[in-house]
Amino acid sequence: MNVRMKMMTRGAAGLVALCAVCGLAMPVSTARAQTGAGAVSASAKATIDQFLRIRAPQGAILAPDGTLYVRDFPDGVTQLYRVPKGVKAIPTESAKWQRLTSYADGISGASMSPDGKRILITHGVGGNENFQIASLDPATDKITELTTDPKVQYAINNWLDDSSGFVFSGNQDSPTDFYLYLFDFAKGKAERILAKEGSWSLGDITVDRKKAVVSKYNSASDTAVFELTIADGTLKEITIRPEGGGTAACDVVGFMPGAEQVLLISDARDGIQRLYLKDLKTGSVTSPIPDLERFELDGAGFNDDRSILAVAVNEDGYGTPHFFAVPGFAKLPSPKMERGVVSAGGTFRGKTVVWSQNNARTPGVAFATELVMPQEAKTPVTRQLTEADTQGIDLQSFPLPDLIKYKTFDGKEIPAFVFFPPGYDKSAKKPIPFICLYHGGPEGQHRPTFSAQQQFFLSQGFGIILPNVRGSTGYGRAFQMLDDYKNRWDSVKDGVYAAKWLVDNGYSAPGKMTTFGGSYGGYMSVACLVEDTQSAEKEKRAPFFGAGVNIVGVTNLKTFLEKTSGYRRKLREVEYGPLTDPEFLLSASPGMKIDAIRVPMFIAHGFNDPRVPVEEAMQLSVALKDRALKDGKPELMPQLLVFPDEGHGFAKLDNRLLFAKQTTSFMKRTIGK
């Protein structure tokens, strides 16, 4: 990946593992999936094995010589592959590909140098997220491990323009802080370029290595940006803040040509993420592309020679890229794309951009487009790079979601995507079993993307609602901060009101719905059961939920903060509340309100989870078990599934299959009776 391209949604780093678990598909690609001869519709009840094997190669990298590299898991674990010329980039042809990595737990990412002569690979062990960095030589396929400390987490930040090295972050010198390092291939070693308290990342660096733009992440609503003089470590803050002062979530796009100006994204005005151009000498700030002012931005990035800028906008969860010539910001024609979520960045070299688009009917197909500059009188040319393995299922039979908004307890509107099973007549208002699926984060957002597991649930007759409760990103700073600290339970109420909307509209009925979510979504899943019981008693109604599914979720905010990785603790306290306020943390912990959980629960976790320690699942399951035994209600005994070789999410195909089969069985015997 050309790391200048930062088109992923904010907060995406922690979602990769969870996307397969909870249906939180990462932004991938578009709808030219190959159905093939004899394709069957989803209504034909294909097996869960077939559904979870639907996929397309991900992370497409197009080398300067035209060679294609992809990440895929034909053997159940994600590895890096080279696709020989003349061979299709489709999973069913993977036996003809050249596998370049053989890590037992697979790889988490790959990034090619601008000159195409090296590929950096990140990989960890057993889901512990302590990613190491290795370098692969495409000419010889030799892999050299550049970092080898399994107790340290490393992350690639940026390649140097001349490919002679790269900048990375790591907590090797301070477990709770991420410093910045520059690795020089000629020297064969790294030198530290920034060592200050906090979680630092580098957004861009000048060709002469004298200046850089770096960020310090304090929280999702407070990210500061600085100009760094590398020689002496001097920092000059250039954060774009509100006029009256205060914090802002600011992100680096990169230096403009000449490095006298820098493009930044900030929510300083009206709390909306917008694009700004800042002069590093005068400090003046302008809005370079007024036409994008009305949109919340997902991200932006330059091509390799900084002649083209790509900007991704977020419109109620749908994502669309726009391209502009630099430095004048003249708009360029965009390739034709289906509506969904578009991402770019695997390759952005010259006028060639590799992009992908995702919607509910495709698992992700990559394309390469030759963009057209303003002076060129022609249209962009797009070619398909990868194809999907549909497992013989007609993906066009998959339902697309409805975008709705419902009013919650205090009158605020909550956006949500709603999926109905194939063939369901919405006008009939026939109640069916529904899954209320909550996203992680909490700084996350449900997007209208592909999920094989969700589509299997739909094929089994379940409906799915994906609410973007307060605290979600994509709707502005004010909405994102509505759940901070002592407002935590307000987002839980929003989650219960999603079920109320389904009942009020006749789509489901009390007892026929389940909560479902991973990570913070797991917290929501348990907490919504508590809130549902408590509010049902006050309102003298039947509870909405008849079951709950919690994956790698927080159940006790106090013990979570005490045992999570040290570097995460500082970041999470801003969101959930500090350990110095244990009374509040316990009051907002659903695990402390076991008596209000009166429905069966399915709990799943990875034993090596560094974010939400497995003890969170254990204490919840033990408490539910004790309560069920005490009350003489064996039907309320929790079902617990722990994977010894997984972390914060389930990466291995065999584990995902087992999880999906057990959750399907659980839901059928509870809400699906």
pLDDT digits (tens, 9 = 90+) for 317-369: 888 899 999 999 999 999 988 888 888 767 999 999 999 988 998 888 999 99
Q: What is the pTM of this model?
A: 0.86
Radius of gyration of the chain (CA): 24
pLDDT digits (tens, 9 = 90+) for 270-283: 899 999 999 999 99
Q: Across-strand partners of 216?
A: 200, 224
Mean residue pLDDT across the chain: 90
pLDDT digits (tens, 9 = 90+) for 608-656: 998 899 999 999 999 999 999 999 999 999 999 999 999 999 989 999 9
What percent of the chain has a predicted confidence (pLDDT) above 70?
93
Residue among 270, 258, 379 at smallest CA distance from 307: 258
Per-residue H/E/C for 474-539: CCCHHHHCCCCHHHHHHHHHHHHHHHHHHHHCCCCCCCCEEEEEECHHHHHHHHHHHHHHHHHHHH
Distance CA 247, CA 184 (A): 35
2-11, 110-119, 193-202, 576-585: segment of lowest average pLDDT: 2-11
Q: Which residues make Cβ contacts (< 8 Å) with residue 355, sequence separation at least 6?
A: 29, 321, 335, 337, 342, 343, 344, 366, 367, 368, 369
Q: Which residues make Cβ contacts (< 8 Å) with residue 519, sequence separation at least 6?
A: 14, 18, 22, 440, 441, 551, 552, 553, 554, 611, 612, 648, 649
Query: What is residue 22's predicted lDDT score, i.e. its pLDDT?
Result: 37
Residues 82/98, Cβ–Cβ less than 8 Å:
yes
Distance CA 5, CA 222 (A): 22
pLDDT digits (tens, 9 = 90+) for 148-186: 999 999 999 999 999 999 999 999 999 999 999 999 999
Asked if pLDDT for residue 29 goes beyond 80, the answer is: no
Query: What is residue 378's predicted lDDT score, i.e. its pLDDT?
Result: 87
17-21, 146-150, 223-227, 461-465: segment of lowest average pLDDT: 17-21
- Structural domains for the chain: 55-113+115-191 (2.120.10.30), 400-669 (3.40.50.1820)
CB atoms within 10 A of CB 243: 7
Asked if pLDDT for residue 6 goes beyond 60, the answer is: no
CB atoms within 10 A of CB 635: 9
Residues 578/48, Cβ–Cβ less than 8 Å:
no
> Which helix (H) or strand (E) element contains residue 191?
strand 189-194
